[in-house]
Amino acid sequence: MKTAIFSCAIAIFSTLATALPAAAPVEPAVGNLASRDHVKQVINSSAVVNINEDTPDTALGVSGAGIVSRAGSKHNSRALVKFDFPEGLGRYKCRLAFGNPVEFSGTGEIQVYTIGGANIESATFNQRPFRDQFKGTFRVAGSGEAVVVDGSGLTFDCPAKGAKAYEVVSVGDNNEVFWYAPSAGLRVDVM
C-alpha cells in the first residue's frame, strides 16, 4: 500500500518535473546530477577480484581496490565486481553507475559486462566465469561521477535476492582506472 502510494507520487513528480522543471522543491538535491535524484538505495559491491593477464593462473583474491588497465595491447588487468541484491527490489529498476575513482589515466574509458556466474572469489585471468553481455561504457573524467558514454544496458529490472557479478575492462590502450571498494567504483543505484 505504502509502496503503491510512493510509486504514484513518483509518477506524479516525474510528470511535474517534466512540465515544470523549475518548480520541484520536493526533495533536497543529492548532488548536481538530475539523474541521481530518484535513487532510492545504493548497492555497493560486496566483492572485487582483479584478474591479471601477466599472472594468468594466479588467484589474486578479494581486494579492497579495483584496477582496470591495459598497456601495449597487453598487461590487461580487469575487475570482477559482485553485488548482493537484497530481497524486495522486484518492483524497481536498477542501474549500474560508476564514481569516485582515486586514479585514472589515458582515455579513462571502461566497459562493463555481465559474467556467467557470481562465484568470483578464486577467479584467475584464465579461469573465471565467462564474459556474457555488454552493459555499458563509462568515461572517468575526474574524481566524481563517471560520464556515461554508452548506457544501452545499464538499466535493468532489479533481480530477485541473490548475487550477480560483472566484469570491468579497459577500452583501448595505455589506460588505467583505480578505485577503492566497496566505497567507490561500480555500484548499483535502485530507482
Ligand X SMILES: *[C@@H]1O[C@H](CO)[C@@H](O)[C@H](O)[C@H]1NC(C)=O
Interface residues toward ligand X, by CB under 6 A: 42, 44, 183
Name which of 28 and 72 has its Cβ closer to ligand X.
28
Comparing every residue's Cβ against ligand X, the nearest one is 183
**Residue 28 burial (10 A CB sphere; 0-12, 13-18, 19+):** exposed
Name which of 125 and 179 has its Cβ closer to ligand X.
179
Name which of 143 and 183 has its Cβ closer to ligand X.
183
Unique residue bearing C-alpha cell 590502450: 173
Residue 44 Cβ, how far from ligand X at the closest point, in Å? 4
Residue 35 Cβ, how far from ligand X at the closest point, in Å? 17
Name which of 133 and 183 has its Cβ closer to ligand X.
183
Name which of 133 and 143 has its Cβ closer to ligand X.
143
Residue 189 Cβ, how far from ligand X at the closest point, in Å? 11
Residue 42 Cβ, how far from ligand X at the closest point, in Å? 5
Residue 71 Cβ, how far from ligand X at the closest point, in Å? 29
Got the DSSP string for the chain?
-HHHHHHHHHHHHHHHHHH-TT--TTS--SSS-GGGTT--EEE--SEEEEEETTSTT----B-SEEEEEEETTEEEEEEEEEEEEPTT-TTSEEEEEEE--SEEETT-EEEEEEES-S--TT--SSSSPPEEEEEEEEE--SSSBPEEEE-TTTEEEPPSSEEEEEEEEE-SSSEEEEEETTTSEEEEEE-
